[in-house]
Amino acid sequence: MSLPPSKPSVDRRTLLGLLGASAMASSCSQRVGGYRFRIDFRLLVNGVLHEVRTVRSIDWRTQSKWLLAGEGPFSQLHGSAVAIDVSPGRTIFLTLGSYYNWNGHRMSFYGDGERKWEHGGHWTIDQLYRDRDVDLPAVNGLPATVPDYDLTFHLAPHELPVLATFENPLQPGTGRVIRPEDLTAEFPGVSFGRSTVCFTREWVTRGDIEKRLPWLKEREPYKTGRRSLASNLFRA
């Protein structure tokens, strides 16, 4: 008598499920373009220049044709926040957020309510092109994969990605956003240097953000403190 076929083990079923989910996720969208860019963030601390460099990337993707109710093209940001120590125990973080786009209104990031503690969309270089009436090289209506590497923008304070600080970096609930116009008032002796952004072929940088903010490794760190800043401001 032949034995009936054995049932897959739980571990095997789990593995097959994960593989299937991964395949489905990868088929839901397709990369159609993108670029990498470098930000050189500079502050003057009591007249002394402090600077830090970060490389980030944008992937432009379209939804799969298999999705009946798919959205239009969308972008994904990859990178991490960087930090400048301006005094013992005080650090300013250049995050991934944007002062521009919150419900389509500039600076409405500072609106009332708990939503102001989340960022309203990631910072992208195409916003700067639009503000300067410069055409971002495009393919099929999306920013091109091969942009102009000879072009460098000087960033005005309000054009920088969102700035943030923590009373205690180990406690996410102590974080808050810094308005560019309030920088010197909050940090006496600190002012903006000449920050720039440009396209680059360099690899995306990750820096030491998880060492500075170890709670980012938690699954939902924003729930660990009142009005804490969202983790996707610091890592994506």
| Confidence bin at 191 (pLDDT 50/70/90) | very high
What local confidence, expressed as pLDDT, does residue 140 receive? Answer: 57
Please report, for the chain, the start and end positions of each structural domain, with discontinuous segments joined by +.
40-63+72-233
Closest CA to 92 of 150, 39, 151, 169: 169
Tokens of 75: 């972008």
Residue 10: pLDDT over 50: no
- In 3D space, the residue among 147, 153, 149, 161 whose CA is nearest the CA of residue 133 turns out to be 153
Longest dimension (CA), the chain: 88
Region 203-224 average pLDDT: 80
> Highest mean pLDDT: which of 14-18, 62-66, 218-222?
62-66
More confident residue, 63 or 177: 177
- Answer whether residue 5 shows pLDDT above 70: no
Q: For residue 153, what is the DSSP state?
A: E
Average pLDDT of span 165-183:
87
- Does an H or E element contain 130, and which? helix 126-131
Indicate the DSSP class of residue 135. Answer: P
DSSP type of residue 172: G
Residue 66 has pLDDT above 70, yes or no: no
Q: According to the model, what pLDDT value does residue 215 have?
A: 86
- Read off the pTM: 0.76
Does residue 128 or residue 50 have the better pLDDT?
Answer: 50
Of residues 43 and 88, the one with the higher pLDDT is 43
Unique residue bearing structure tokens 């309203």: 120
